[in-house]
């Protein structure tokens, strides 16, 4: 009887210790598969998002491709400006400029970025960016982990925030993993 109890206790302890490892390993195991190709000017799902009066987001690596560990999209922007100062508690963000010029603020530092430049914004650090100058500009943006940013942009492209009060809009953003903490960048037309 003691031997049976010892075996049951040992197996239970091993199962309890293995559970966190299995939880970590399962997303990686589900991701194993084949690669994919996304052509220039195309979206991963052939469904680019139209946002912010003439701006288009093309998913290159979707949240579902990586079980939420990464989201990468190309942002094509026509209009100068960008989002207000905001902070993500759980995501790092990275910008790589493909064409045009952008100002990118991370913490207290403002970077003037152009084609070939990149800027990293760590989680929990307020940041924002603005397209500057005339004409079309493009950048790659990356979120790690993906969080709910793709869901946020999809909902925005479908008009989810139309008619929302400022309080509802703030809750909507918070539900998607970030909050506005200040105004957008101001700049002179260049």
Is 62 among the domain residues? yes
Q: How many distinct structural domains can be found in the chain? A: 1
Is 31 among the domain residues? no
What is the extent of the structural domain holding 148?
49-180
Is 135 among the domain residues? yes
End-to-end distance of the chain based on CA atoms, in angstroms?
83
The CATH number linked to 170 is 2.60.120.10
DSSP state letters, 75-130:
EEE-SSB-PPSEEESS-EEEEEEEESEEEEEETTEEEEEETT-EEEE-TTS-EEEE
Is 56 among the domain residues? yes
Q: Per-residue pLDDT tens for 8-56?
A: 665 565 555 555 544 444 455 455 478 999 999 999 999 999 987 778 9
Is 57 among the domain residues? yes
Is 124 among the domain residues? yes
Task: Report residue 166's pLDDT band, with 50, 70 and 90 as the boundaries.
Answer: very high
DSSP 3-state of 39: coil
Is 54 among the domain residues? yes
What's the pLDDT at 2? 72
Is 39 among the domain residues? no
- pTM here is 0.80
């Amino acid at each position: 009887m003691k031997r049976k109890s010892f075996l049951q206790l040992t197996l239970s302890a091993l199962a309890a210790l293995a559970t966190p490892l299995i939880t970590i390993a399962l997303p990686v195991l589900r991701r194993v598969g084949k690669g994919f190709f996304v052509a220039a000017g195309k979206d991963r799902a052939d469904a680019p998002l139209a946002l912010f009066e003439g701006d288009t987001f093309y998913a290159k690596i979707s949240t579902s491709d990586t079980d939420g560990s990464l989201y990468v999209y190309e942002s094509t922007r026509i209009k100068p400006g960008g989002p207000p100062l905001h902070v993500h508690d759980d995501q790092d963000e990275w910008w790589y400029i493909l064409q045009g010029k952008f100002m990118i603020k991370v913490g207290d530092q403002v970077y003037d970025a152009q084609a070939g430049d990149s800027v990293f914004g760590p989680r929990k650090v307020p940041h924002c960016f603005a397209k500057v100058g005339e004409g079309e500009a493009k950048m790659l943006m990356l979120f790690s982990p993906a969080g709910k940013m793709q869901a946020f942009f999809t909902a925005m492209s479908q008009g989810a925030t139309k008619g929302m009060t400022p309080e509802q809009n703030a809750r909507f953003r918070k539900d998607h993993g970030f909050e506005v903490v200040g105004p957008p960048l101001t700049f002179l037309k260049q």
